[in-house]
Amino acid sequence: MPMQMSGPLAALDKWQPDRCSMAMALDVVGTKSAMLLLREAFYGTTRFDGFVRRVGITEAVAAKRLKELVKHGLLEKRPYREPGSRTRYEYVLTEMGNALLPVVVALMQWGDTYLRDDGGPLRVVAAETGEPVSVRVAPSGAESLGPEGLAVRISRKG
């Protein structure tokens, strides 16, 4: 069922998706390699060779995507140096990158539910309690809402 359009969006000619936030976000993270690099950053990978190995992409693709993620502010590039070695860089999630955690978890759980017969290899749980966590759309303190329970309204910033 499509998302309910009420209020000002009932007349779609009043809103044009020329600067759609979703399109802008996909310009930043809309490649498979970008999302998998972010997944690995959430798992704790910080070193270039770790990203290449864990994501299974070429060094050239990893370098390009990591550079883009740094440019857009999702990762921060920090120097480190092991004794006897030259300075290298690690990649650490920024506040902006960390804000994508619900997106990454939701995609993983959607894949576990709809694309795997075995429910997937990992479970995301609360560190303190071991309780399973999930991503949901809901008003604060309320039950999850489906598309029929949502409305979209034009944001009037002024």
DSSP string, 41-66: HHHT--BHHHHHHHHT--HHHHHHHH
Q: What is the pLDDT of residue 155?
A: 73
The total number of structural domains in the chain stands at 1
What the block records as the tokens of 70 is 């740094």
Q: What is the chain's pLDDT, residue by residue, as a tens digit (158 residues)?
A: 455 555 544 556 666 777 788 999 999 999 999 999 999 999 999 999 999 999 999 999 999 999 999 999 999 999 999 999 999 999 999 999 999 999 999 999 999 999 999 999 999 999 999 999 999 988 888 888 888 888 877 777 64
- Residue 104: closest CA among 77, 64, 128, 74: 74
What the block records as the tokens of 8 is 């000002």
- CATH code of 137's domain: 1.10.10.10
Is residue 80 in a domain? yes
**Model confidence over 19-46: pLDDT tens digits?**
788 999 999 999 999 999 999 999 999 9
Is residue 157 in a domain? no
Q: What is the pLDDT of residue 10?
A: 52
Is residue 158 in a domain? no
Q: What is the pLDDT of residue 88?
A: 94
Is residue 15 in a domain? no
- Residue 40: closest CA among 23, 25, 57: 57
Is residue 55 in a domain? yes
Is residue 83 in a domain? yes
Is residue 79 in a domain? yes
> Residue 111: which domain range?
4-10+20-152
Q: What is the pLDDT of residue 156?
A: 72
Q: What is the pLDDT of residue 158?
A: 44
